[in-house]
Amino acid sequence: MNDIRDELLKILKKMDPNIVDDSLDIKFLQQYKNRYDVFGQFKDDKGIYEFALSFDTKGKIYRQHINMIQTLKLREELEKKLRE
């Protein structure tokens, strides 16, 4: 699992170099013969993202979808209002 996580981080860093490594959360992983389908979340300096990637063992990407689901500013505002 760690080798898949490392390969996934390498691919995501090519797309977004500001990703926080510890924030990578793999929610779904499906393995075929030499291909992985992965769904999960990660953070960078702008917000929280969801992603769906399909890649092989050599790092070739077959399908990719990355969407921001929440900005960090919005999250901070919500947490502040909940504390009040």
CA pair distance 27, 73, nearest whole angstrom: 24
Indicate whether 2 pLDDT > 80.
Answer: no
CA pair distance 7, 72, nearest whole angstrom: 26
Domain regions of the chain by residue span:
2-83
Phi-psi category of 59—alpha, beta or left, where left has phi over 0 and alpha has psi -120 to 50? left
Q: How would residue 1 be classed by pLDDT, with cut points 50, 70 and 90?
A: low
CA pair distance 27, 7, nearest whole angstrom: 16
Question: The domain 2-83 is classified under which CATH number: 3.30.2130.10, 3.40.50.720, 2.140.10.10, 3.10.450.630?
Answer: 3.10.450.630
pTM listed for this prediction: 0.80
Largest Cα–Cα separation, the chain: 52
The 3-state DSSP class for residue 11 equals: helix
pLDDT given at position 82: 87
